[in-house]
Each structure stands twice: as C-alpha cells, then as structure tokens.
Amino acid sequence: MKLATLKDGSRDGQLAVVSRDLSTAHFATGMASTLQQVLDDWNFVSPQLEDLYATINGGKARHAFAFDPRQCMAPLPRAYQWADGSAYLNHVELVRKARGAQVPASFYQDPLMYQGGSDDFLGPCEDAHFASQDWGIDFEAELAVVTGDVPCGVSAAQALDAVRLLMLANDLSLRNLIPNELAKGFGFFQSKPATAFSPVAVTPDELGDAWQGGRVHLTLQSTWNGRKVGMCEAGPEMTFHFGQLIAHICKTRNVRAGSIVGSGTVSNKSVEVNGKPEWPKGYSCIAEKRAIETILDGKPSTEFMKFGDTIRIEMKGQNGESLFGAIEQEIVPLEG
Amino acid sequence: MKLATLKDGSRDGQLAVVSRDLSTAHFATGMASTLQQVLDDWNFVSPQLEDLYATINGGKARHAFAFDPRQCMAPLPRAYQWADGSAYLNHVELVRKARGAQVPASFYQDPLMYQGGSDDFLGPCEDAHFASQDWGIDFEAELAVVTGDVPCGVSAAQALDAVRLLMLANDLSLRNLIPNELAKGFGFFQSKPATAFSPVAVTPDELGDAWQGGRVHLTLQSTWNGRKVGMCEAGPEMTFHFGQLIAHICKTRNVRAGSIVGSGTVSNKSVEVNGKPEWPKGYSCIAEKRAIETILDGKPSTEFMKFGDTIRIEMKGQNGESLFGAIEQEIVPLEG
C-alpha cells in the first residue's frame, strides 16, 4: 500500500491512503491519524489500511479525493530517528579519488553512516530555504526505509524483516560547510539542513521483484533544472543492503519504530569507452559530478545549486508508473 | 514546575506534575497525556500545568500520589532531536592534551556538537545493557535543555528564549569504539548508546538565580559505585551557553519543539597546589580522569565501568534539595 501525510495545519498532518496509481487518496480516519501511530502499532493498524487501499484501488472508496502531492508533508513530517548511510561505495571511491585519498579497506565491511536531524523534514514539493547560495547547495537522491522496532544486537537478516515502508529522500547538503565541520571530528551538523521525502511511503510488496535482498532494483531519476542528470541503478551496486545498515545502528542500542534509514547517494561505476571512463547513468548529487570532473580534468566545472534552481527526484516501477511520486523542490533564499 | 513521565506500558508514558520537593505527583489528565504534547502547545498547556503544580505544592491536590523515580521513563521517552554539545572546553583540552594534540583556535568560537540518537532513551533508574564490557563503558554527567520552536538563523539570545525545560543526562559512551568510529569521519554512532535522563524536567524558574546567562550555576554530583567522584561546577566554565548551542544548530535549519540539547561533560579546570595541577572537583566522566592520569603519569590507571557498576548523577538547588531527582543506573550484560 501507499501512504501519505497531508497538511492540515498540525505538526504531524493527517494520514491518508493513496491509490497505487497516485490518482486518489482517502483519509485513514478511524484507523490512525498519523503515520507514526501506524508504525507504533503496525500489526493492528496496517491490515485495516490495506483493506482501505484495496477499496481505493477498486474505485469503491466513497470519500476518496484527488491526490495532490503539493498538499503533502513528508510521510513522517518529524521522526524519532534519521540515520543516513553511504551504502554505495562507488560514491565514496569517486569523492576520495578526486581529493587524492584512498578508501580504507574497512569501509567495505563496516558501513559509513551518520545520525541526521529528524525534527523538521520538508514535504516533497516544499522549497528549500537557505541564507546563502555560497554554501554549496547540493541535492542527494536516495532511497530510505522506515523501520519497526528492532532490538539491540540483531543480525542483518533479522533487521531486514523490520522494514515497514520505503520512500525517496533528497538529503540536501551544504558542501562548502562540510570540510570545516568534518575536520572538527564529530560529524555533520550545519552542513546537513532539512531533508525532503517523497509524497508517499510504500510497503515493500509494492516493489514486487524489484525489492530483492534488501535492495531496490530500479532506476532513480534526478532532474536538475529540467535536465535529466541521473538515471542511476539503485540495486546491484548498493554495497550494504538496508538490513546491514539497520543492524549497524543496532549493534549497541535498540532501534525504535518509525526510524528512517537512508541509503546515501545512489551511485554507479563508470564504464570504459575507447579506453576512457564514462558515466552514462549520470549522477545523484552534484558533488559526485564534480568529483568525476576533477578526476578527468583536474578541477570541477559544474557549479552547485543557486537560488531558483529546481530538483526533481523520482523512481518508476516495473510497469513504468511512478512508485513514490516525485520530490520537486526549488532552492530559495531564506527570508527575514 | 517539575514534570515527569511515568511508565504506563505505552511508548510515551503518562505525563505527571511533580511537587517541588519531589515527594508527590499528580497525573496531568485533561491537560496533556505526554510531555511532547505540552511542548507542541506550550503557551496553552503550560499555564494549566503551573496551576496544578501550585495546588500540589500547597498539599491540596486530591489525587496526588507518592512520587517514585523508579516508575519514571525519561521525561521525553523518545524525542525528535538529541543534539549534544561539548560546551566545557576544559574537557576537550584535557582529552586532547592526553593524546598530545592541540585544541584548534576555532573551537573557542565554534561549538563542537554531535547529533545523537533520540528514538530510545533510558529512564533515570533503568539499567544500561551492553553486549560487552570491553567496549569502554563510561558515564557522562551533563545538563540538557528542551526547546520550543526555534526558527532558522536566530541569534544566541533569541535561541535562549526558547529554553522550556532543563534536565540532567547520562550520555553513556563506549570509549573503545570511539577512535575507529571517528576515524571514519562521520561522527558517533555505535559508540553512543541510549542516553538516560533525570526523573523530572524543570522549568528554568525552578533554578532561581542559578539560571544565569544560559548557564546553570550549581554543582553536578557524580557518584560511581557509591564513591563521589565529581562535584563539578556547571556554571562559570561552560564555554558556550545553551543559547549559543541552540543557535549553532539553527544556522541552517529550524529546530522544532521538543528538541533536547546537551551541554557535554561538565568539566572544571585544575588548580595549582605546590606547583602541581590538582582537580579537587573531580570528574563527570571516566575518560577525563584517564586523560588527567595520562597527563600526570604517562598512562591511565582508572578502568572504565564493568558489569555491576553503578552511577548516580544528581544536582542540588540553592536550598540543598535535589532539583531533578537522581539518575541511578547499573551497568548490566545484554541478555539473549
């Protein structure tokens, strides 16, 4: 099933079930008012929502209305955890190679993850406000899962069973703030502003065979200022699957229902054409494009996002229909 | 006023107002069922709770009951943000000096903070479970504030106005996991297990004159295995006050109601006795004691916590009464 959170003036919005084709929606009134409530009591509430989903898809829901992604908050407008991985090692390899650094061998066994802010997410069509366009504004197209409860110390396979929902994420990053911040040694803070999520969160069964071994075997599309810059394969090159990412967090603590775990920038290896590397699938963040330029030309030539720039992130299912709806954001100056 | 969250089998517990002397409590039924609800609607709900607080303190609340900290969850059993600072630069200086490193000049202008996990906090008297006692289990006695909504880009003074509540925290740390984790460059994850908080959260007026300029001018007591190891002054040596810490987070994003911001380990400078440094106020975490030993003797001699160890963290007000109640935890092996 597909779930969305619609704006109603409250902090957590109003939960709605959305038809598979994203054309219509129906409030989940009487079952749950927020998505967190569903996650808190998944086994009891989700079957009721599945019933409503079947009714909507059959065109028989009496109070269904047209679904408008612009009315969406993030599926979880705020969450108790946002833990983002860097699960596509190719991205790490490129960024490091561009600055002349090696990828430590341990990175292939031990996932790289950071704890992100989760108190204030952006809806899929909400502008991203920044005080300065000199901060190196970048999009990062990612997949993310929402978990149920996962106890401390579980295996990656057990952790995978706790995946309740999948979403797309735009993990906006301020690249020019990163070097100084990471040099301090405690990870990201100011360089990771509010993250945006797709209009709907979907249960894994919506992906059919494309959901395999904790990976999504589909193409993630990124369109920057109307130009398609990324058609990246999210499946085979994901070094760590979502179960491994969740298990990494669980090593020393419990992970509680409603935790969001991100894949990191989806990234594909180059192919060799006439003895030279090319990246025909493009990129899911500008930093990677700039790393490629640095490797090829000695310096980056693509600039980061400016005020007025737009980014669209979408993924289509095996039938060619949009799975999660699209993230469509504009970069705008912070007012006041 | 003083607020606690009592266990009732639910994820967020039941909100109670607690008398100033921590002897009696009263459920906030009809006003709010959880502390997050109060923070979401502070201006409307908190005056009602203040009225109940006055009634309890006057001994006139008809359904008051004996307050038992062992029945407490953390005041916010889960939160949308846990952002911890390292606001006592003396701690950073000692730890760095012990490993022969300098404190960069920028650290005195730019607060060091990390984003912590906030989906699963421990109550004040809940055991801390670990799979291994070889991880370098350490307590960290801290102060923490809970904020209201703070918009992106505010000044430190404006941010300070958003402090709603204060608590004590035990930011448990796994010291032996830290070096490898920080070497990866993305900050803490497995080295920061679930944090514990004091039985009650209190409004700043409860501290009287001791709440000055965003700092708490009182003594934080740490008692390890029944031995008082820390009597640290939390006020004058806090390099960055809470408004500065909140404003640091707000530089590139909003901070939403119910965010918890920690001070980091409370730490005091040495005094010179017969030409030698001494630390008569003790320490708020074992890592600092070990750093001092390394500076003085070339190597640490105090071991980290073992299974069966206990830690008690408390702060007394100007009248000598416990302000927040005590955090009292035992370190125990993870079962299963």
Pairing assessment for the beta strands B271-273 and B276-278 based on DSSP bridges: antiparallel
Q: What is the pLDDT of residue B118?
A: 98
Q: pLDDT for A97-130, tens place per residue?
A: 998 999 999 999 999 999 999 999 999 999 999 9
In this prediction the pTM is 0.98
B156, burial (CB in 10 Å: exposed 0-12, middle 13-18, buried 19+): middle
- On whether any CB of chain B is under 8 Å from the CB of A77, the answer is no
In DSSP terms, A113 is beta-bridged to: A85
Q: What is the pLDDT of residue A279?
A: 95
Pairing assessment for the beta strands A219-224 and A201-202 based on DSSP bridges: unpaired
Q: What is the pLDDT of residue A335?
A: 85
- On whether any CB of chain B is under 8 Å from the CB of A175, the answer is no
Q: Which of B44, B189, B259, B334 to mutate to test the interface with A (most CBs of A within 10 A)?
A: B189
Chain A residues 271-330 with CB within 8 Å of chain B? none
Distance between CA atoms of residues A196 and A259, nearest Å: 15
Could you please report the per-residue DSSP string of A142-162? EEEEEE--B-TT--HHHHHTT
State how far residue B300 is from chain A, nearest Cα, in angstroms: 23
3 state DSSP class of B330 = strand
Residue with the two structure tokens 């006055």 = B54
Q: What is the DSSP letter of B19?
A: -
Give the residue from chain A lying closest to B178, CA to CA: A186
Q: State the complex-level ipTM.
A: 0.97
List chain B residues with CB under 8 Å of A184. 104, 106-107, 110, 112
Share in percent of chain A as helix, strand, coil (round to 5)? 25, 30, 45
List chain B residues with CB under 8 Å of A153. 131, 334, 336
Q: Which of B37, B44, B80 to mutate to test the interface with A (most CBs of A within 10 A)?
A: B80
Give the residue from chain A lying closest to B179, CA to CA: A185
Q: What is the pLDDT of residue A336?
A: 65
Sign of the CA dihedral running B66, B67, B69, B70: positive
- On whether any CB of chain A is under 8 Å from the CB of B251, the answer is yes
Sequence-distant (6+) residues with CB within 8 A of A130 are A137, A174, A193, A307, A331, A332, A333, A334, B252
Sequence-distant (6+) residues with CB within 8 A of A256 are A80, A81, A149, A150, B11, B78, B119, B120
Distance between CA atoms of residues A106 and B110, nearest Å: 31
- On whether any CB of chain A is under 8 Å from the CB of B79, the answer is yes
Look up residue B38 and give its two tokens.
Answer: 């109060």
Give the residue from chain A lying closest to B192, CA to CA: A252
- On whether any CB of chain A is under 8 Å from the CB of B131, the answer is yes
Q: pLDDT for B144-154, tens place per residue?
A: 999 999 999 99
Q: pLDDT for B305-330, tens place per residue?
A: 999 999 999 999 989 999 999 999 99
Distance between CA atoms of residues A26 and A67, nearest Å: 9
State how far residue A36 is from chain B, nearest Cα, in angstroms: 11
Q: pLDDT for B232-263, tens place per residue?
A: 999 999 999 999 999 999 999 999 999 999 99
Q: What is the pLDDT of residue A40?
A: 98
- On whether any CB of chain B is under 8 Å from the CB of A12, the answer is no
Distance between CA atoms of residues A234 and B238, nearest Å: 46
Please answer yes or no on whether B86 and A177 come within 8 Å at the CB atom: no
Q: How far apart are the first and last CA of chain A?
A: 41
Look up residue B275 and give its two tokens.
Answer: 């030409």
State how far residue A62 is from chain B, nearest Cα, in angstroms: 33
Instruction: Name the maximum alpha-carbon separation found in chain A.
Output: 62
State the Cα angle at B198 between A11 and A84, rounded to 5°: 50
Of A152, A186, A251, Cβ closest to residue B113: A186
Distance between CA atoms of residues B265 and A106, nearest Å: 30
- On whether any CB of chain A is under 8 Å from the CB of B254, the answer is yes
State how far residue B229 is from chain A, nearest Cα, in angstroms: 26
Please answer yes or no on whether B153 and A334 come within 8 Å at the CB atom: yes
H helix or E strand, kind and range, residue A294: helix A286-297
List chain B residues with CB under 8 Å of A255. 119-120
List chain A residues with CB under 8 Å of B79. 80
State how far residue A182 is from chain B, nearest Cα, in angstroms: 6
Chain A to chain B Cβ contacts (< 8 Å): 154
Residue closest to A38 by CA, chosen among A22, A26, A50 = A50
Please answer yes or no on whether B249 and A189 come within 8 Å at the CB atom: yes
Look up residue B267 and give its two tokens.
Answer: 């730490």
Please answer yes or no on whether A252 and B182 come within 8 Å at the CB atom: no
Please answer yes or no on whether A254 and B152 come within 8 Å at the CB atom: no
Please answer yes or no on whether A189 and B117 come within 8 Å at the CB atom: no
Q: pLDDT for B265-319, tens place per residue?
A: 999 999 999 999 999 999 999 999 999 999 999 999 999 999 999 999 999 998 9
Q: What is the pLDDT of residue B335?
A: 85
| Residues B172-192: b if buried by 16+ CB within 10 A, e if exposed | bbbbebbeebbebebbbbbbb
Give the residue from chain B lying closest to A154, CA to CA: B336
Give the residue from chain A lying closest to B191, CA to CA: A252
Beta carbons of B175 and B188 less than 8 angstroms apart = no
List chain A residues with CB under 8 Å of B260. none
Distance between CA atoms of residues B56 and B59, nearest Å: 5
Look up residue A261 and give its two tokens.
Answer: 């775990």
3 state DSSP class of B47 = helix
Residue closest to B37 by CA, chosen among B139, B164, B156, B183 = B164
Please answer yes or no on whether B119 and A259 come within 8 Å at the CB atom: yes
Look up residue A207 and give its two tokens.
Answer: 């992906």
Residue closest to B233 by CA, chosen among B210, B204, B202 = B210
Beta carbons of A130 and B252 less than 8 angstroms apart = yes
Q: SS3 for B259-283, per residue?
A: EEEECCCCCCCCEEECCEEECCCEC
State how far residue B257 is from chain A, nearest Cα, in angstroms: 8
- On whether any CB of chain A is under 8 Å from the CB of B110, the answer is yes
A102, burial (CB in 10 Å: exposed 0-12, middle 13-18, buried 19+): exposed
- On whether any CB of chain B is under 8 Å from the CB of A40, the answer is yes
pLDDT digit string (tens) for chain A, length 336 residues: 999 999 999 999 999 999 999 999 999 999 999 999 999 999 999 999 999 999 999 999 999 999 999 999 999 999 999 999 999 999 999 999 998 999 999 999 999 999 999 999 999 999 999 999 999 999 999 999 999 999 999 999 999 999 999 999 999 999 999 999 999 999 999 999 999 999 999 999 999 999 999 999 999 999 999 999 999 999 999 999 999 999 999 999 999 999 999 999 999 999 999 999 999 999 999 999 999 999 999 999 999 999 999 999 999 998 999 999 999 999 999 986
Q: pLDDT for B173-223, tens place per residue?
A: 999 999 999 999 999 999 999 999 999 999 999 999 999 999 999 999 999
Q: What is the pLDDT of residue A281?
A: 97
Q: Which of A37, A114, A115, A190 to mutate to test the interface with B (most CBs of B within 10 A)?
A: A115
Residue B75 CA, chain-centre distance (Å), reads 12
Q: pLDDT for A43-92, tens place per residue?
A: 999 999 999 999 999 999 999 999 999 999 999 999 999 999 999 999 99
Beta carbons of A325 and A198 less than 8 angstroms apart = yes
Of A114, A118, A190, Cβ closest to residue B187: A114
- On whether any CB of chain A is under 8 Å from the CB of B132, the answer is no
Look up residue B289 and give its two tokens.
Answer: 């004691």
Alpha helices, DSSP H, located in chain A: 35-40, 42-57, 89-98, 156-160, 178-183, 242-250, 286-297
| Residues B68-96: b if buried by 16+ CB within 10 A, e if exposed | ebebbbbbbbbbbbbbbbbbbbbbbbbbe
Beta carbons of B325 and B167 less than 8 angstroms apart = no
Does the structure show a pLDDT above 80 at B336? Answer: no
Measuring CA to CA, how many Å separate A138 from each of A264, A284, A285, A288, A311? 13, 10, 6, 10, 10
Distance between CA atoms of residues A325 and A73, nearest Å: 13
State how far residue A84 is from chain B, nearest Cα, in angstroms: 10
- On whether any CB of chain B is under 8 Å from the CB of A97, the answer is no
Distance between CA atoms of residues A114 and A86, nearest Å: 8
% of chain B residues with pLDDT over 70: 100
Residue with the two structure tokens 């000044």 = B155
- On whether any CB of chain B is under 8 Å from the CB of A107, the answer is yes
3 state DSSP class of B222 = strand
- On whether any CB of chain B is under 8 Å from the CB of A185, the answer is yes
List chain B residues with CB under 8 Å of A187. 114-115, 185-188
Beta carbons of A80 and B259 less than 8 angstroms apart = no
- On whether any CB of chain B is under 8 Å from the CB of A254, the answer is yes
